[in-house]
Chains A and B, each alone.
Chain A
Amino acid sequence: MMSWETVIGLEIHAQLATRSKIFSSAATAYGAAPNAQANLVDLGYPGVLPVLNREAVRMAVKFGLAIGAQISPRSIFARKNYFYPDLPKGYQISQYEKPVVEKGQMQILLEDGTVKVIGITRAHLEEDAGKSLHEDFHGASGIDLNRAGTPLLEIVSEPDMRSAKEAVAYLKKIHTLVRYLEICDGNMQEGSFRCDANVSVRPVGQEKFGTRCEIKNLNSFRYIEKAINYEVARQIEEIEAGRKIKQETRLFDPDKGETRSLRSKEEANDYRYFPDPDLLPVVIQNDFIESVRATLPELPDQKAARYIEKFGLSAYDAGVLTASREMGDYYEGVLAALKSKNLEGHEKLAANWTMGELSAALNKDGIEVTESKIDAARLAGLLARIADETISGKIAKEVFESMWAEGQEADAIIEAKGLKQITDTGAIEKTIEEVMAANPKQLADYRSGKDKLFGFFVGQVMKVTGGKANPAQVNDLLKKKLAG
């Protein structure tokens, strides 16, 4: 049987977080009443003209610099002509031959721990279309042009990805980046971040690409993985059944978990692109580029490298903690608070708790790290008690839960519930003696060679102390006492 290789390229549409639209002064906020945020320019009225929003250009340049791309000194807006009711002018203003950003790249971490570079062909500015609403109009369609003219940055990758997982990893990296740069809110449900996937398969070892299909409008990481996997399986099945893949646009149906044909290449529009005569070329000078560069934050990859190098974290952990700017800020907030308590060298502990208990609690409540019920300083307060061995890790989880539920400091909870660890050797020895006295049979068995019963005695001691005995001390003392 033939083995197949998957080839994937992504076109990501990131809605830029400008206050007003790309060519008009109308607001871009989400969720307004239909057509309340569409002015005469957005409605394509006779005689109106577009005026470029400089902020959108600044954001595109910021993105270009973050992916190490070339910023075009002169880029051109073109018209993409087609008729559709939610496209008021009958053309979309986009960049075609000369995009503002070219030739960048993005690294992704593969499951086997290796790093792969995904090429980014280009990123260009364009305006979004409106929305056609097909419900509630008794057979007619409604049009909401609030979204028409919203600035988009279309980020086009090279066909460098070889599996749905790689595609998702790349998409997540871009998603992280645009939020780091504060150029896109990344909200996939509201459509601020969405993508189309170009998918093809070819026999392993073949250089030439197979015929590709474009899957449209994928707006969740889960759907993207599902859609690509479905599409890959479909294409392989088609080819193995002796049929040819038709170049076409397909739509993913999340309810059925499958893609279906939307239109074939023959049915595709001839968009008749040409430079928009209403807009001058976008001239970007070096001092502008440098002024934008000065606003770049520490980028996710730079931050992750710092965590690995300075804190000794694994690449995986560093990746998780830098997945959003806010998560990194939280983690570093915990470290700063520990440092203020003169506790250093606990970077791994802090990483484990941030990624473990904290993230689980956030997920459970469906809230963002910025809304966390335990702030970084309080988590540091808890970790300090682990570090100074006031409580064990196990007890700390209990304390964490109380902190989350009650909103109190760790110390207050430890005090109130008497959870402080027992480190008094005499007290632990006394408990051990009691346990030994209460379990003569097990003691005899242990002493006759059943080493496995050691764990039983540890459990009993912890049970009697309510888990508060210092586990290391319990181990040491038990060994001595049991030996007799």
Chain B
Amino acid sequence: MTELHHLTLAELNEGLRARRFSSVELARHFLARIERMNPTLNALITVTAEQAMAAAQRADELLASGEAGALAGVPLIHKDIFCTDGVLTTCGSRMLSNFVAPYDATVVEKLSQSGVVMLGKANMDEFAMGSSNETSYYGPVKNPWDLKKVPGGSSGGSAAAVAARLAPVATATDTGGSIRQPAALTGLTGLKPTYGRVSRYGMIAFASSLDQAGTLTYTAKDAALVLRDMAGFDPRDSTSVDTPVPDYVASLDEPLKGLKIGLLKEFFEGGLEESTGKLIREALQVYERLGAQLVEVSLPNLPLSVPTYYVVAPAECSSNLSRFDGVRFGYRCEDPKDLLDLYKRSRGEGFGAEVKRRIMTGTYVLSAGYYDAYYLRAQKVRRLITDDFARAFEQVDVLMGPTSPTPAFDIGAKVDDPITMYLNDIYTIGANLAGLPALSIPCGTVGGLPVGLQIIGPHFAEAKLLNVAHGYQKETPWHQAIPKGYE
């Protein structure tokens, strides 16, 4: 018999509607897996078993009454960056280790309306700052493909949970690659939508002009199903865009014949590991067989994306994280002497090393006398990179390349070397700087570890990206692979 956790989200959704199993059964099944496997993986910070069972019961009632939302009864894990009403929301930080959010993020609200059943909150790099999930106050997350390896970050908990089949979908956020890189390192489909496609309201800000919520799923089809209910204009987020949400599922099967794929020259140069590069080229051959046309394109300013990002993101984070001051919520130091002492120790003790590093970097680049040389110049380069992408999309429909230069690396291997760690995001950052939608799909393994193919599209081309990814997944088995021990 097929185990419930072998089914894709689309299959689970169908099964629920056909009453082949109930939402309560699903919740119970996945909660049992979480209970058994999470202690090893450390993928979840909070398990909301009781609320999940209640929500599942409600979903079953709605399914029976025929008034259920599109995703009613489907289990899901939220990244702990999304505020969830009445539930601990830590953002992976000691600073919020006591913070019970008093409201739901728009993403949480929309998916709840759609009927999903939240099983818990996923571990993550502290305030989403990291590429390995090692900066979490709650400890590193292990990669189910190899427990010695990192799952990527910052959405490492979401990725490990879905890869280990603890839930068919997890929400995630991507500021510089935090959905796509973990997706690549754990063999999942990770979608970062266009900036402004999904509301940021209630998503604890890291870098406001780059942050975007998305999904980690097994398949592109699953991502399409979830995005359909997550996306849309939100009057509470001024940067969300008021443009209609298409039916991402309806266009999944459109033929790929004649698709123009741009190969990002810059992505195949430099630090790309040879075995990873080989898998990417094989994936491109699959597309050629499907009738796509490959064109090499160059984005001359793209190599500047990492330094640009590491000015813009810390600048915004240094300001965004000022509200964590020990005054109104979150961590407060013991017995502050005076106001300054309260600030210094609450922040000094509440934030971890990587967060402090970025706050300091950001404070520096915004300070008088450095603003023009760093922040303003970075904004100009950001413009150039955006223009590079726009020119490329005049020639091609989508851009392809690797998601990450290497497969998952060892836990602890890069923690003392922030620059090497930052370079892990070299292929993903460009899409954030330009606000473009991008996704990563599994395209094989190296030494038993998954490798991800990245697909980047023009603004609001999520439907195209999902269609292109789905076309590949119909031809290949990689997205079905389950790590050993989690079958």
CA A81 to CA B366, docked complex, whole Å: 10
Query: Does B361 reach chain A (CB closer than 8 Å)?
Result: no
Are B200 and A49 interface neighbours, CB within 8 A? yes
Are B83 and A46 interface neighbours, CB within 8 A? yes
Are B375 and A46 interface neighbours, CB within 8 A? no
Are B323 and A51 interface neighbours, CB within 8 A? no
CA A279 to CA B208, docked complex, whole Å: 10
Query: Does A191 reach chain B (CB closer than 8 Å)?
Result: no
Query: Does B315 reach chain A (CB closer than 8 Å)?
Result: yes
Query: Does B316 reach chain A (CB closer than 8 Å)?
Result: yes
Query: Does A47 reach chain B (CB closer than 8 Å)?
Result: yes
CA A143 to CA B375, docked complex, whole Å: 34
CA A83 to CA B340, docked complex, whole Å: 9
Q: How far is the CB of A267 from chain B (nearest CB, A)?
A: 13
Q: How far is the CB of B92 from chain A (nearest CB, A)?
A: 12
Query: Does A270 reach chain B (CB closer than 8 Å)?
Result: yes
Are A46 and B329 interface neighbours, CB within 8 A? yes
Q: Which of A284-335 contact B (CB under 8 A)?
A: none
Given contacts A81-B322, A88-B323, A89-B323, contact A49 B238 (CB under 8 A): yes
With a CB–CB cut-off of 8 A, which chain A residues contact B205?
46-47, 278
Are A43 and B367 interface neighbours, CB within 8 A? no
Q: How far is the CB of A245 from chain B (nearest CB, A)?
A: 22
Given contacts A49-B236, A85-B339, contact A91 B202 (CB under 8 A): no
Are A278 and B375 interface neighbours, CB within 8 A? no
Query: Does A484 reach chain B (CB closer than 8 Å)?
Result: no
CA A100 to CA B227, docked complex, whole Å: 38
Among A50, A83, A143, which residue has its beta carbon within 8 angstroms of that of B322?
Answer: A83
**Residue among A79, A85, A88, A277 facing the most chain B CB atoms (10 A cut-off):** A277
Query: Considering only CB atoms, which chain A residue lies closest to B375 in the complex?
Result: A274
Interface string of B335-378 (1 = CB under 8 A from A): 00001000100000000000000000001001110010001000
Query: Does A361 reach chain B (CB closer than 8 Å)?
Result: no
Q: How far is the CB of A40 from chain B (nearest CB, A)?
A: 6
Are A270 and B322 interface neighbours, CB within 8 A? no
With a CB–CB cut-off of 8 A, which chain A residues contact B202?
47-48
Query: Considering only CB atoms, which chain A residue lies closest to B366 in the complex?
Result: A272
Are B238 and A50 interface neighbours, CB within 8 A? yes
Are B371 and A274 interface neighbours, CB within 8 A? yes
Given contacts A270-B368, A277-B316, contact A45 B238 (CB under 8 A): no
Interface string of B79-103 (1 = CB under 8 A from A): 0001100000101000010010111
With a CB–CB cut-off of 8 A, which chain A residues contact B321?
90
Query: Does B254 reach chain A (CB closer than 8 Å)?
Result: no
Are B323 and A47 interface neighbours, CB within 8 A? no
Given contacts A51-B238, A277-B316, contact A46 B328 (CB under 8 A): no
Are B238 and A44 interface neighbours, CB within 8 A? no
Q: How far is the CB of A145 from chain B (nearest CB, A)?
A: 9
CA A45 to CA B209, docked complex, whole Å: 19
Are B322 and A90 interface neighbours, CB within 8 A? yes
Are B367 and A46 interface neighbours, CB within 8 A? no
Are A51 and B83 interface neighbours, CB within 8 A? no
CA A300 to CA B139, docked complex, whole Å: 67
With a CB–CB cut-off of 8 A, which chain A residues contact B204?
46-47
With a CB–CB cut-off of 8 A, which chain B residues contact A464?
none
Query: Does B235 reach chain A (CB closer than 8 Å)?
Result: yes
Are B99 and A40 interface neighbours, CB within 8 A? no
CA A274 to CA B366, docked complex, whole Å: 7
With a CB–CB cut-off of 8 A, which chain B residues contact A143?
327
Among B238, B325, B367, which residue has its beta carbon within 8 angstroms of that of A90?
Answer: B325
Query: Does B201 reach chain A (CB closer than 8 Å)?
Result: yes
Are B328 and A43 interface neighbours, CB within 8 A? yes
With a CB–CB cut-off of 8 A, which chain B residues contact A270?
367-368
Are B235 and A51 interface neighbours, CB within 8 A? yes
Interface string of A210-229 (1 = CB under 8 A from B): 00000000000000000000
Query: Does A188 reach chain B (CB closer than 8 Å)?
Result: no
Interface string of A76-98 (1 = CB under 8 A from B): 00010101010011110000000
Are B327 and A49 interface neighbours, CB within 8 A? no
Q: Which of A107-165 contact B (CB under 8 A)?
A: 143
Query: Does B11 reach chain A (CB closer than 8 Å)?
Result: no
Are B343 and A83 interface neighbours, CB within 8 A? yes
CA A143 to CA B342, docked complex, whole Å: 15
Are B319 and A51 interface neighbours, CB within 8 A? no
Are B236 and A51 interface neighbours, CB within 8 A? yes
Query: Considering only CB atoms, which chain A residue lies closest to B95 in the complex?
Result: A46
Are B367 and A272 interface neighbours, CB within 8 A? yes
Query: Does A377 reach chain B (CB closer than 8 Å)?
Result: no
Q: How far is the CB of A83 from chain B (nearest CB, A)?
A: 6
CA A473 to CA B157, docked complex, whole Å: 104
Query: Does A280 reach chain B (CB closer than 8 Å)?
Result: yes
Query: Does B203 reach chain A (CB closer than 8 Å)?
Result: yes
Query: Does A52 reach chain B (CB closer than 8 Å)?
Result: yes
Are A277 and B209 interface neighbours, CB within 8 A? yes
Interface string of B470-484 (1 = CB under 8 A from A): 000000000000000
Given contacts A47-B105, A48-B202, A90-B325, contact A278 B235 (CB under 8 A): no
Query: Considering only CB atoms, which chain B residue lies closest to A143 in the complex?
Result: B327
Q: How far is the CB of B451 from chain A (nearest CB, A)?
A: 33
With a CB–CB cut-off of 8 A, which chain A residues contact B237?
49, 51
CA A272 to CA B319, docked complex, whole Å: 9
Query: Does B239 reach chain A (CB closer than 8 Å)?
Result: yes
CA A278 to CA B319, docked complex, whole Å: 12
Interface string of A232-275 (1 = CB under 8 A from B): 00000000000000000000000000000000000000101110
Are A46 and B327 interface neighbours, CB within 8 A? no
With a CB–CB cut-off of 8 A, which chain B residues contact A51?
235-238
CA A83 to CA B200, docked complex, whole Å: 25
CA A89 to CA B316, docked complex, whole Å: 13
With a CB–CB cut-off of 8 A, which chain A residues contact B103?
40, 45
CA A280 to CA B319, docked complex, whole Å: 17
Among A43, A45, A48, A83, which residue has its beta carbon within 8 angstroms of that of B325?
Answer: A83
With a CB–CB cut-off of 8 A, which chain B residues contact A40?
102-103
Q: How far is the CB of A140 from chain B (nearest CB, A)?
A: 10
Are A91 and B319 interface neighbours, CB within 8 A? yes
CA A333 to CA B315, docked complex, whole Å: 59
Given contacts A46-B101, A278-B208, contact A81 B319 (CB under 8 A): yes
Are A46 and B322 interface neighbours, CB within 8 A? no
With a CB–CB cut-off of 8 A, which chain B residues contact A272?
318-319, 363, 366-368, 371
Are A89 and B238 interface neighbours, CB within 8 A? no
CA A105 to CA B89, docked complex, whole Å: 51
Q: How far is the CB of A106 from chain B (nearest CB, A)?
A: 32
Query: Considering only CB atoms, which chain A residue lies closest to B235 in the complex?
Result: A51
Given contacts A47-B203, A49-B237, A278-B238, contact A91 B322 (CB under 8 A): yes
CA A91 to CA B208, docked complex, whole Å: 14
CA A50 to CA B237, docked complex, whole Å: 7
Q: How far is the CB of B378 from chain A (nearest CB, A)?
A: 11
Q: How far is the CB of B103 from chain A (nearest CB, A)?
A: 6
**Residue among A44, A49, A51 facing the most chain B CB atoms (10 A cut-off):** A49
Interface string of B264-290 (1 = CB under 8 A from A): 000000000000000000000000000
Are B329 and A45 interface neighbours, CB within 8 A? yes
With a CB–CB cut-off of 8 A, which chain A residues contact B239?
49, 277-280
18 contacts across the A-B interface (CB closer than 8 A): A46-B89, A46-B205, A47-B202, A48-B202, A49-B237, A51-B236, A51-B238, A81-B322, A83-B322, A85-B325, A90-B319, A90-B321, A91-B322, A272-B318, A272-B366, A272-B368, A277-B207, A278-B208
State the 7 A-B residue pairs at the shortest beta-carbon distance, nearest first: A90-B322, A277-B209, A272-B366, A277-B208, A47-B202, A44-B323, A46-B204
Query: Which residues does A use to contact B, with CB under 8 Å?
Result: 40, 43-52, 79, 81, 83, 85, 88-91, 143, 270, 272-274, 277-280
Apart from A46-B89, A85-B327, 17 more pairs, CB < 8 Å = A40-B102, A45-B102, A45-B103, A45-B323, A45-B329, A46-B83, A46-B99, A46-B204, A49-B201, A83-B322, A88-B328, A89-B322, A90-B319, A270-B368, A277-B239, A278-B205, A280-B239
Query: Which residues does B use to contact A, with CB under 8 Å?
Result: 82-83, 89, 91, 96, 99, 101-103, 105, 200-205, 207-209, 235-239, 315-316, 318-319, 321-325, 327-330, 339, 343, 363, 366-368, 371, 375
